[in-house]
Amino acid sequence: MIKNLLEGKKGIIFGALNDKSIAWKVAEKAYEQGARFVLTNVPVSIRMGTINELAEKTESTVIPADATKVEDLENLITKSMEILGGKLDFMLHSIAMSLNVRKKRPYNDLDYNYLQKTLDISAISFHKLLQTSYKLDAINEWGSVVALSYVAAQRTLYGYNDMADAKALLESIARSFGYIYGREKKVRINTISQSPTVTTAGSGVKGLDKLLDFSERMSPLGNATAEECANYAITLFSDLTRKVTMQNLYHDGGFSSMGMSLRAMSQYEKSFDVKD
Ligand SMILES: NC(=O)c1ccc[n+]([C@@H]2O[C@H](COP(=O)([O-])OP(=O)(O)OC[C@H]3O[C@@H](n4cnc5c(N)ncnc54)[C@H](O)[C@@H]3O)[C@@H](O)[C@H]2O)c1
């Protein structure tokens, strides 16, 4: 196991709700690799979840922030730099929420107020984070910002609903801001497109169990776990990936390149009517 990949690096990790969260695993791995960071989430998730346990385990401070509010982000970033003693090297945006999904509004009967919230929380918050960091000049040269995405940004998957639109916007923001942040400050910005994963947000997706089984059968390497996703995120925060930017990086066991697999076909065949 490689050690101290993030020695001396400082960051902010958004989105650890409980020990299932992808952000939780990233925080554990970042700590193991020598990073220091601030954890953040919305006040209601801090109350309902177990982020304080993670803070204790990783010797980090929790600062509440709603990622859709620029004033919260300004406060979070400024205080994080004070606590950690200087500019930051990495940020993880691991945030998503759709009220249309939660309230079971199908894509052809969306509530538009909910849609605006989906886009604000799950995608525009990434722009707000980047713009606020840029204006505060909060990220060191060769710093790295990663957000989490899903293949529904490129391909239609039943039940993913308006989150597909949010992910498409999120990936576009990574490219558009990645150009400016790279050109001006040598900061890199990428999205990781992760396999379906059993977490609180993931469980909101219609038929998650079937989706997990399908993508497991379709992926030559099988679904990627939250822990494996965290390992990948650590490489992107490290100095080993300095020239990777503006990319949507699939971390899905090969799913995104598949059309039909032997394992999926075998399962599909079982459903055919047998005619004697
Ligand atoms: N679970 C999956 O199947 C899967 C697959 C691909 C990508 N992702 C993405 O991974 C990311 C993390 O999700 P997860 O699966 O770990 O679930 P999770 O429920 O553990 O994390 C989602 C987090 O978003 C936070 N959040 C919601 N509104 C917020 C706001 N206004 N400000 C700040 N934080 C807010 C929640 O409090 C929670 O901590 C999301 O972007 C999700 O879309 C998940």
Q: Which atom of ligand 1 is nearest to the CA of 202?
A: 1
Q: Contact at 8 Å (CB) between 151 and 196? A: no
Q: Which atom of ligand 1 is nearest to the CA of 93?
A: 41
Question: Is ligand 1 within 6 A of the CB of residue 248?
Answer: no
| Domain span including residue 228 | 10-269
Is residue 49 part of an annotated ligand binding site? no
Q: Residue 176 falls within a domain, yes or no?
A: yes
How many domains is the chain partitioned into structurally?
1
Q: Residue 182 falls within a domain, yes or no?
A: yes
Q: Residue 204 falls within a domain, yes or no?
A: yes
Say which CATH number the domain at 259 has. Answer: 3.40.50.720
pLDDT at 275: 60
Q: Which atom of ligand 1 is nearest to the CA of 22?
A: 16
Q: Residue 274 falls within a domain, yes or no?
A: no
Residue numbers annotated as active site: 150, 160
pLDDT digits over 140-173, tens only? Answer: 999 999 999 999 999 999 999 999 999 999 999 9
Is residue 22 part of an annotated ligand binding site? yes
Q: Residue 113 falls within a domain, yes or no?
A: yes
With a CB cutoff of 8 Å and minimum separation 6, the contacts of 209 are none
Q: What is the C-alpha separation between 8 and 87, in angstroms, rounded?
A: 12
Q: Contact at 8 Å (CB) between 50 and 62? A: no
* Residue to mutate, 95, 124, 171, 213, ligand 1, most ligand atoms under 8 Å from C-beta: 95
Q: Residue 186 falls within a domain, yes or no?
A: yes
Q: What is the C-alpha separation between 9 and 25, in angstroms, rounded?
A: 17
User: 20: pLDDT confidence band, cut at 50, 70 and 90?
Assistant: very high
Q: Residue 4 falls within a domain, yes or no?
A: no
Flag whether pLDDT at 2 surpasses 90. no
Strands 188-194 and 248-251 come out as parallel
Question: Is ligand 1 within 6 A of the CB of residue 115?
Answer: no
Q: Residue 251 falls within a domain, yes or no?
A: yes
Query: pTM of whole model > 0.85?
Result: yes
